[in-house]
Chains A and B, each alone.
Chain A
Amino acid sequence: QSVLTQPPSASGTPGQRVTISCSGSSSNIGSDYVCWYQRLPGTAPKLLIYSNNQRPSGVPDRFSGSKSGTSASLAISGLRSEDEAHYYCAAWDDSLSSFLFGGGTELTVL
């Protein structure tokens, strides 16, 4: 059971907007920034969002991040088949002195 809680699965149709949630606590999301990773099948995780809502160079603006209180969300607009992947949220936890990953959400494009 991960400290950062994500839904195990999400789905959408091409062109649709989907959101993936990440719920934490005051010692992690509530006090530190959130980042998001995309792991395509057979590849290493790729940083999608850092510092809650910043995109690294090369990440399309279809991907956006937000945070409110002890929860964060990743939104993907204009869904494409190549977005099928596992998505992970992550943050530092001040109480555990540990970098935490969420359990991951498997996104299916129908």
Chain B
Amino acid sequence: QLQLQESGPGLVKPSETLSLTCTVSGDSISSTSYYWGWIRQPPGKGLEWIGSIFYSGSAYYNPSLRGRVTISVDTSKNQFSLNLNSVTAADTAVFYCARHYCNSPTCHFDYWGQGTLVTVSS
């Protein structure tokens, strides 16, 4: 059974970089059928796609976050990671990692991690 688990600091200071890692078990992150993505949900708000990456390292990002976000992959550890820099309080959210199937015209996240709350505060 595929499982994803987010890990990283739960508290980040304003202007610093938020870094999270997602560890995948039960499937190879090197699968040629799937991307691996990050989604966040600020308190009381809706879901927002952050970006997704293929095992080769090819990534695409939400244009609203481009310039602040980098997603990378480590196939040897079956992990992928998120870096979001210059964070503000508006970046406080529950962050989810998920497996992303996207083959036009269909696109969806089928397996999700449990989520991790990251608070931006001094």
- Give Cα A78–Cα B64 distance, bound, in whole angstroms: 40
A72 shortest CB reach to chain B, Å? 13
Q: Which one of B46, B52, B104, B108 contacts A104 once the chains associate, using CB atoms below 8 Å? A: B46
Q: Footprint of A on B, CB under 8 Å?
A: 37, 39, 46-49, 52, 60, 62-64, 96, 100-102, 104-110, 112-115
Q: Chain A, interface size: which category?
A: 20 to 34
Q: Are B104 and A88 in contact (CB under 8 A)?
A: no
B63 shortest CB reach to chain A, Å? 6
Cβ–Cβ < 8 Å partners of A44 in chain B: 96, 112-115
Q: A32-B104, A44-B113, A100-B49 are in contact. List 5 more A-B contacts (CB 8 A).
A: A33-B107, A35-B109, A45-B109, A45-B112, A50-B110
Cβ–Cβ < 8 Å partners of A102 in chain B: 46
Given contacts A35-B108, A50-B108, A99 and B114 within 8 Å (CB-CB): no
Q: Are A56 and B110 in contact (CB under 8 A)?
A: yes
Q: Which one of B39, B48, B102, B110 contacts A92 once the chains associate, using CB atoms below 8 Å? A: B102
